[in-house]
Amino acid sequence: MKKKKLKKNVKNTMYYVMMCILLGVFCFSAVQMFKELKSYQDDQNAYDELNQFVEVPVEQENEEIPETERIPQIDFESLMEINDDCIGWIYVPGTKISYPVVQTTNNDYYLKRLFNKTYGISGTVFLDARNDAEMTDRHMILYGHHMKNGTMFANAEDYKDQIYADEHPTGMYITPEKVYDILFFAGYLTDAYNDSWTLNFTDAEFEDWISKSKSRSHFYSDVTPEIGDQIITLSTCSYDIADGRFVLLGILKEKTKD
């Protein structure tokens, strides 16, 4: 009888220990989830505060909007008072991509810093440190996080869908002096170790790179860059593969800014 009672006590003890462990895991996970959600919200609030410096055109169905009114009006003077690393604004109509762009001397600084330079897991969209901020290079690269709440560059990976790509074929890059149209022509999943981040090409290398990019693309576009065109890439993380990236490529076309 004593042995049976002992076994029962051991089983009860193990049961309570397991329940305590499971409860601890649950509480830890809940706390971590709360912290993550709070971080997302804090970051979103910080970027929402910048909306006072930006006037984005409102698209209306069945109504033609004059070309000059399609360009977001950016108060760069006020933005640069907050952060003098600000060099531009990236905007893709119909998506959540509408953010200030910064550049500094390395590609690590803004990974976990918001536009106001405080800590934030969303980071800030930034131009590759190797690029000329005046956008004179043959290939410019913008980096932005793929946030699970759909912010920053998360919408870039939506270009894996042909319908989405057809509905959002263009973007804009605005600087204090110039406005550029972006004509998207390719978007594909890759890793962090190929030619997607090459900046300088010979003409032959450039043509080969464009051909490969279009062949890798998840969507079809009748837009094809030519020698002399400038390319801008929106680069973000992808959770589909280990150390994955999704890159969205477009031709950068300067337009007259009124």
- pTM for the full model? 0.82
Domain positions in the chain: 46-57+68-255
CATH superfamily of 46-57+68-255: Sortase (2.40.260.10)
* Confidence at residue 195, expressed as pLDDT on a 0 to 100 scale: 81
Cβ 253 vs Cβ 185: under 8 Å: no
Chain segment 50-83, per-residue pLDDT in tens: 889 888 776 644 455 555 567 899 999 999 999 9
Tell me what pLDDT residue 33 has.
47
> Pseudo-torsion of CA 58, 60, 64, 66, nearest 10°?
-10
Closest CA to 206 of 139, 126, 129: 139
